[in-house]
A = this chain, B = another copy of it.
Amino acid sequence: MTDRRIKRSNRALLDASFQVLLHNPHASLSEIANQAGVGRATLYRHFPTRENLLAAIAIESLEIVEQATAKRLRCELRETSAIEQLVSALLPLADRFHFLQMMWTDIELDAEVCALYEQQMAALERWITAGQRNGVLSEQLQPQWIVAMLDSMLYSASWLISTHALSPKEAEQQLLIGLLNGISGHKPTG
């Protein structure tokens, strides 16, 4: 019933377009098709319009993130190690965050993208609020600000990794210290 070629082309296109657009947001659909090893016509058969393609990548990205976080977010946040684990799980996906942020202007009009995004944001905010109740997270900060910090620091980490300023290991370490303790010198040790 379902032709294997469809799935194969679809994968090749989603993978290639993600990689190509990540490094050149202005890339034409021809370039993308070439990089995917697929005819331009085939690209249009799978994704009728450019917006459509971008939305598809965004949705896949959001689903990947969801898959990596869903289990962790389901159980209540009780100790700091859970945050460390979340960051560890999310950091390898920083490219996806990068893409979503970079293309936000183009994809924010898509209903499914928005729905997924808001859904995940809501889940994350609930998790964080629980963490605040449990004393793991500061109650001085608003949940949405903590979400924003997490998001933007993942982006920073991926940036520094991609420019080889930091190794992935270093980046993760720095991110956790900075996120959890801030940048202040250790005055609490007084």
Contacts and interface: CB of A to CB of B under 8 A. Distances in A.
A111 interface: no
Interface string A108-125: 000000000000000000
User: Which of A139, A170, A174 counts the most B-chain CB atoms under 10 A from its CB?
Assistant: A174
A149 B132 contact: no
Interface in A158-190: 159-160, 165-166, 170-171, 174-175, 177-186, 188-189
Given A149-B178, A182-B178, A182-B181, A142 B166 contact: yes
B185 A182 contact: no
B177 A183 contact: no
**Range, interface on chain A:** 35 or more
Given A136-B185, A152-B156, A177 B144 contact: no
Which of A131, A134, A141, A148 has the most CB atoms of chain B within a 10 A radius of its CB?
A148
Contacts of A140: 177
A183 B141 contact: yes
Given A144-B166, A148-B157, 16 more contacts: A24-B105, A132-B185, A134-B185, A136-B184, A137-B184, A142-B166, A145-B156, A145-B160, A145-B166, A145-B174, A149-B178, A149-B183, A180-B184, A181-B181, A181-B182, A181-B184
